[in-house]
Amino acid sequence: MKHKRSMTSKERVLTTFARQEADRVPINYLTNSGIDARLKTHFGLKADDDEGLRRALGVDFREVRAPYVGPKLHEDVGNHIVDNYGVHRRWVEHGSGGYWDFCEFPLREADEETVANWLMPSPDDFDYSQIARECKKHGHYAVHIGGAGLCDAINSSGYLRSMEQIFMDLLTDDPAGLLIMKRRTEINLEITRRSIEAAKGGFDFMWIGEDLGTQNAPIMDPDTYRRNIRPINQKYIDLAKAYNLPVMIHCCGSSSWAYPDFIEMGIDVVDTLQPEAKDMAPAYLKKTFGDQLAFHGCISTAGPVAFGSVQDVIGNCRETLDVMMPGGGYCFAPTHALQDNSPTENVVAMYDVGHNYGKY
């Protein structure tokens, strides 16, 4: 078979987002710190050489963001790291590494007045001056504004309110919980808008996130989603479309129930695609939504990459590519961050398959 001409990463990704065949599938990389460090050692890179690792793996995507330069708004407490929204995290070790786990929930019992007065960062306290330069530096790649945490009304509010309480807030329309979402949305929309303006056309797409599924079912009823979450998601989509940017949404679990809504809203690409979850099998997604959505993910971090042999990984990745590649519209990526229990050789094999078998 005659291969297509070699594309830049930017061309490859945008062609795929338009549900057309590129020269090969675009490739992306998301990871936890433990496997990231082991991969850098494997490739003979320094511990802080993030760009070198992405080049070694042939990653087609790059993120650019405005750094926060304002004052620290909430003090750390003991071994808890507290961010500028007041979210508490602590390091928790496990058998193969560790996580910054969410703990304490300072607004769990807060009323509307307390939420209204809670310190949150100002869009004025971010440095937008280098965004255009950074976008230009990575101009060969597909440069995105945001990531899985942008938008993300449920999780990000739950980190302050607790997940149990935020789901009760959504179900009962509790004004305190909804105000957390409203305030965060207003702040992050303005940061995103200023970043896009500062980039002077340097961004290629917007990446947002909203987890809507358990492994077996929707995480909430569709009416609750459409009443309280979809309007927030829509604000980001409308902002992106005002600048002619495609939109990709990260959405974990059994989430294909929401894809018809995503299509109506103007989303172009869906990310995560956990194949073991209900109604998330590659063949089902490709057949049901492949003519209206592009896909990013599908290589399970809870499957052969973590628990199989190198040959299992090769077989699984090739099977996924066989299903998802035809006609274009598929980006090869893990379903979430690669986990620390993934053997280094399995991850290397995964990316080798993406490059060697993912050609058109």
Q: What percent of the chain has pLDDT over 90?
A: 97
- Is the pLDDT assigned to residue 293 strictly greater than 70? yes
Q: What is the C-alpha separation between 197 and 69, in angstroms, rounded?
A: 19
Q: Point out the least confidently predicted range of 96-105, 161-170, 224-233.
A: 96-105
Mean pLDDT to the nearest integer, 189-195: 98
Q: State pTM to two decimals.
A: 0.97
Q: Which single residue is written with the structure tokens 């409203």?
A: 182
Mean pLDDT to the nearest integer, 224-233: 98
Closest among 162, 197, 188, 195 to 177, alpha carbons compared: 162
> Is-contact 256 214, C-beta < 8 A?
no
- Average pLDDT of the residues of the chain: 97
pLDDT for 195 equals 98
Q: Delimit the domains of the chain by residue range.
A: 9-71+107-357
Question: Token pair for residue 102?
Answer: 């969410």
- Is the pLDDT assigned to residue 325 strictly greater than 80? yes
Half-sphere exposure of 126 (CA within 13 A, CB side): 20
Question: Token pair for residue 112?
Answer: 């509307």
pLDDT for 95 equals 87
Mean pLDDT to the nearest integer, 223-245: 98
- Is the pLDDT assigned to residue 328 strictly greater than 90? yes
pLDDT bin (cut points 50, 70, 90) of residue 23 is very high
pLDDT bin (cut points 50, 70, 90) of residue 284 is very high
Q: Point out the least confidently predicted range of 1-15, 22-36, 54-68, 292-306.
A: 1-15
Give the sign of the dihedral formed by CA 345, CA 346, CA 349, CA 355: negative
Class of the CATH domain delimited by 9-71+107-357: alpha beta
Q: What is the C-alpha separation between 244 and 201, in angstroms, rounded?
A: 10
Three-state SS for 69-114 is CCCCCCCCECCEEECCCCCEEEEEEECCEEEEEECCCCCCCCCHHH
What are the pLDDT digits (tens) for 80-117? 999 999 999 999 998 888 989 999 999 999 999 999 99
- Is the pLDDT assigned to residue 146 strictly greater than 90? yes
Q: Point out the least confidently predicted range of 3-7, 113-117, 205-209, 277-281.
A: 3-7
pLDDT for 1 equals 44
Mean pLDDT to the nearest integer, 151-179: 97
pLDDT for 113 equals 98
pLDDT for 96 equals 86
pLDDT for 3 equals 55
What are the pLDDT digits (tens) for 35-64? 999 999 999 999 999 999 999 999 999 999
> Is-contact 140 108, C-beta < 8 A?
no
